[in-house]
Amino acid sequence: MSEATPPAFSGYVDGYFREFDMRTPLDRHTAQRLIDLGRLKSGGVYVIHHPPTNLSRDFYQEFRCVNPGMRAYVGYTAFETDGLPPGWAESCNRMDEIWVPSRFNLETFARAGVDRELLHVVPHGFRPRDYRPSMTTPLTVGEAKGFNFLSIFEWTPRKGWDALIRAYVEEFSRDEDVRLIIRSYQGGGVIGDVPPVHVQLAQFLRDIGHDPDEIPRIDFIDAMVPSDLMPSLYKAADCFVLPTRGEGWGIPFTESMLMELPVIATRWSGHLEFMNDSNSYLVDVDGIVPVGEDQVRTNPLYGGQNWAEPSVGHLRELMRHVFEHRDEAAQVGKRARTHILNNFTHVHAAAIILERKRALLSRRVHAVPRQDAPHRVLFRSNVAGLGGAGDASVILARLKEGLEAKGIAVDLAFSPQEDISAYDLVHYFTMDWQWVPEVAAQKVPVVLTPVCGDCGAHVGMAMQTVAAFQAAESEGGKAGLDDALRETAARRCPEGVPWAMRFCFDCMDAVLSFGDGEGRMIRSVVGAPSTVHVARMGGDSADSEGKDTDASLFVRTHGVKDFVLCVTPVGMMHNQLMLLHALRDDDISVVVLTERGLQTFYGDLCMKIRRVGPTFFVENASPEMLESARMAAKVCVMPGWGGSALHSVIEAARCGCNIVVSDGDDARGYFADNAWYCHPDDAQAIRRVVLDAYSAPRDARRAGECVLSGWNEAIDTTIAVYENLLRQWSSMDVETHVRKREARVAEVRSYFLVKNSLRRLTRNDPPRAVQVAREMIRKYPQDAELHELLGSALLQTRNFDEAADALRRTMEVGGVDRLDLHLMLCLSLIGQERFEDAGDALREGLRRVPVTSDTERSIVAEYQDRIARREKLAAQELVGSIPASC
């Protein structure tokens, strides 16, 4: 193939109109759009995606000069060696922040002299819908072989192409059913005229003693592959390989992983941010060596730097291993995709960028609320938006509207506020113990609305449910899925508030809950139960008055009627996956109406559920369309964990729709006998009650009293809480109160620091861990995790009798049944040579908690055999915690 013609662009760059070419595979439209976006209005956060200098020019300084008036200036950059070029650190230190994509660069920049406080890791993010391996057709690149390696890189020594070619031609023969596809291009910085890349490749082969016509097959692509065809190129391969000498990130690695390819890469530099021995094949490094002269000659920035030298021998071994163990490699590829979807999508990156933006702006601008109201309140939330379909942020929107109608000024803040002196009160929404230090600084009353404060207790169960579906998918079907889900349900968590969250409540002046059950639960754990108040959410009946919306709008638009409706953001805690699985064999339509979540690993799993009846995923419906959907549905289902998105079904009930909700005190407090109830981990129960509600006639009377009152009760309760707090503060010594709050916050910080240290000590210094755990238990006797850590440390110090007591106390205080706890208890009894008691403990554990993994089965079999033979623990036998996989 001939080399692609470089695209040409024109636009204002550095304040001047310019026309120029670029020797990189960027399509003309994208490049021109990037140039045009460079002309920004003043007043925002200006992020410069550019190296700081080129040894002679300070680009960051130039960009600041031609873009004045910004509230903050950020440099987003990376470098691929163990240091930085001259002048980079000085340029970076003149910025407000420096963003780097990996922890590797955070450390290399800091060592090179960049102020560590300026450095923040902002990983790259990838849009999942662009990488769908099951829906992508392979790109035709010559005649396919039985096994196809793929490598994509700029033709530069840093990419390690010479190590790749040497390893490939030395490990494989021309007769083997294998090929290497190379997509490469000559990047910028090359001095003088150079031959085409494929000509350079042929010359290199001859230089290392190989005839280009007698080597295993190599297919070379030196033409630009459009970005929308890149997934098809990855789909044409069985493995991606690139023995790079250094990366700031390594985009082709991430893209390959998203396409479920096993990836071979060097064990050094920025791509280790997302690659590890579980999801990749990492090539050993022969050493960290000076950058080669060829690289420095084409790009002087690399002068005096060091990078990794990949081991050609180990690279050969890994390429051969993947070639011969294809099933194993395919599983590694699946794990790789899951890891990227869970951690490095565009949504993850956007959230980090927004948080940095808020932090930057909060340093420079203080909130100034309206001054013409009797009270001024600041709403503080981490939910960047209001009133989304099925979203808990509806509570913020409705409270704000209602309070303002009563004359109370309400401002919103989605980032930390250092100065709230102009406000009378701060009201926090959602619960995050990391906010507690911020709360301590407030010299006004602080109210918390937890918004499903018990969700933390259910996260583990939700994750286990998702894991069961992921395992079933990797095995190619739903075989064994129902059994796995039943075993997961057998480990159901107790109701309650996670211990760490209790600190949040005690640091507040008042807690305002929107559920009876949640309110009672919080009262049971706080030091001052009288500070906990309960309000009731309402339906938005007033909003629909005078509207002409009816059921036919949704039916006409989407061509579906008599359907099951679920209105919540798609996500693990909302449990749409279980709903679709429960109804997989039923010929009824299901509509999932959401504002976000489909372009995530969880949304991907939901869309892969194959049902007998059709499933419709509808995004970003208008308020009228949402209202029409509720009026048209036969039943609205909210199968989520921990009372999440309860408002969604309140709205459906207001429309006269039959409703199915997760069982719990909050839901029953709203609906009593006017709803159908199920538990979110029980697929059979979900199916049974959904079908019952589906077959029952719609009855508007099932709305219940809560939706008739609208939001008036919630508004009145909120105002009463505010006024009571303000009266108390008017007569109290505020400085003393704030000092007490700060002391409590200091205790919170100490608690988490010590607890994190204790976890490390349990692994590394068990005797010291025993001492620390006992000290903390004296202070926090109801913290089950402390008793568990004590039991684990005592086991490792072979203090078996006290370990048994600590483990029993763990199960008693925490109210949990986990197989690893029962196995640790059994081990402690074996250590005391109480074999009959050990057998009883093991049988009781197996009766209460099913065995679900090979690791568990192996440990159980070992202990059963040891008990049967009455085999003592040897004096030097290693005793430790049971693996977390149990």
Domain ranges of the chain: 8-121, 128-344, 373-473+484-537+711-732, 541-709, 737-869
Residue 27's pLDDT band, with cuts at 50, 70 and 90, is low
Q: What is the pLDDT of residue 350?
A: 93
Taking the C-alpha atoms of residue 777 and residue 772, their distance in angstroms, rounded to an integer, is 9
Q: What band does 464 get if pLDDT is binned at 50, 70 and 90?
A: low
d(CA 148, CA 219): 10
Residue 559 vs residue 666, higher pLDDT: 559
Give how far Cα 786 sits from Cα of 217, 229, 585, 713, 814, Å: 60, 53, 45, 41, 10
Percentage above 70 pLDDT, the chain: 75
Which pLDDT does position 12 carry in this prediction?
A: 41
HSE-CB at 880 with a 13 A cutoff on CA atoms is 8
Closest to 250 measured CA to CA, from 150, 115, 159, 155? 159
Instruction: Give me the amino acid identity at 86.
Output: P
Strand ranges in 595-726 using DSSP code E only, listed in sequence order: 615-619, 635-638, 658-662, 676-678
pLDDT for 490 equals 46
pLDDT value at 881 more than 60: no
Q: What is the pLDDT of residue 474?
A: 55
Dihedral sign from CA coordinates of 291, 295, 301, 303: positive
Domain pair 128-344 / 737-869, same fold: no
What are the residue ranges of helices labelled H in 208-311? Answer: 230-235, 251-258, 293-298
What local confidence, expressed as pLDDT, does residue 449 receive? 86
800 compared with 557, residue with greater pLDDT: 800
pLDDT band at 639 (very low <50, low <70, confident <90, very high): confident
Q: What is the pLDDT of residue 281?
A: 98
pLDDT tier, 385 (very low <50, low <70, confident <90, very high otherwise): very low
Residues 510-532: tens digit of each pLDDT: 988 887 777 787 787 676 677 88
Given a cut of 90, whether residue 208 has pLDDT beyond it is yes
The share of the chain scoring above pLDDT 90, in percent, equals 38
> Is 0.75 surpassed by the pTM of this model?
no
pLDDT of residue 173: 95
**C-alpha closest to that of 497 among 486, 485, 505, 489:** 505
* CB-facing half-sphere around the CA of 124: CA atoms within 13 A: 20
pLDDT at 543 over 60: no
CA atoms of 776 and 760, how far apart (whole Å): 15
Binned at pLDDT 50, 70 and 90, residue 16 comes out as very low
CA distance 214 to 221: 20
pLDDT at 542: 39
329-338, 369-378, 451-460, range with the lowest pLDDT: 451-460
Higher confidence at residue 149 or residue 437? 149
Contact 232, 137 (CB under 8 A): yes
Q: Using CA atoms, how far apart are residues 204 and 165, in angstroms rounded to an integer?
A: 9
Bridging pattern class, strands 306-310 and 285-290: antiparallel
Residue 389 has pLDDT above 70, yes or no: no
466-470, 586-590, 847-851: least confident range: 466-470
Burial of 688 (0-12, 13-18, 19+ CB in 10 A): middle
More confident call, 755 vs 855: 755
Residues in the chain, how many? 886
Determine the Cα–Cα distance for residues 489 and 582; give it in Å rounded to an integer: 14
In which residue are the tokens 């009563």 written? Answer: 406
Q: Residue 493 pLDDT more than 50?
A: no
CATH architecture of the domain covering 737-869: Alpha Horseshoe (1.25)
Q: Which CATH architecture has domain 373-473+484-537+711-732?
A: 3-Layer(aba) Sandwich (3.40)
Q: Which residues contact 65 (CB under 8 A, 6 or more apart)?
A: none
Buried b (16+ CB within 10 A) or exposed e, 286-302: eeeeebeeebbebbebb
* Residues 30, 227 contacting (CB under 8 angstroms): yes
* Beta strands across the sheet bearing 45-49: 45-49, 72-76, 97-100, 119-121
Kindly list the distances between the CA atom of residue 871 and the CA atoms of 426, 833, 841, in Å, as whole numbers in the listed order: 62, 8, 17
pLDDT on residue 679? 84
Residue 745: C-alpha distances to residues 92, 429, 742, 752, 811 (Å): 34, 18, 5, 11, 29
The CATH code of the domain at 541-709 is 3.40.50.2000
What pLDDT is stored for residue 161 in this prediction?
A: 96
Closest CA to 789 of 817, 820, 815, 745: 820
Report helix, strand or coil for 701. helix
pLDDT for residue 190: 47
How many C-alpha atoms does 841 have within 13 Å on its Cβ side? 25
Q: Which CATH number fits domain 128-344: 3.60.21.10, 3.20.20.70, 2.40.50.140, 3.40.50.2000?
A: 3.40.50.2000
CB 124 within 8 A of CB 101: yes
Query: How confident is the model at residue 309, as a pLDDT?
Result: 97
- The strand order across the sheet containing 281-283 reads 217-221, 178-185, 147-154, 239-242, 263-266, 281-283
pLDDT confidence of 3, banded at 50, 70, 90?
A: very low
pLDDT confidence of residue 486: 55
Gap between the Cα atoms of 847 and 822, Å rounded: 11
How does pLDDT run across 724-778, given as a tens digit for each residue? 999 988 888 878 887 877 777 777 777 777 877 888 888 788 999 999 999 989 8
If you average pLDDT over every residue of the chain, what do you get? 81
Q: Where are the beta strands (DSSP E) in 559-627?
A: 563-567, 589-594, 615-619
pLDDT confidence band for 165 (50 / 70 / 90): very high
For 652-704, write each residue's pLDDT tens digit: 887 888 889 887 657 777 788 888 988 887 888 899 999 999 998 876 555 44
Give pLDDT tens digits for 287-317. 999 999 888 887 888 999 999 999 999 999 9
CA distances from 664 to 146, 335, 580, 655, 821 (A): 55, 35, 21, 22, 27
Separation of alpha carbons 658 and 698, rounded Å: 6
Range from 15-24, 46-55, 665-674 that averages highest in pLDDT: 46-55
CB 806 within 8 A of CB 787: yes
Distance in angstroms (rounded) separating the CA atoms of residues 223 and 829: 68
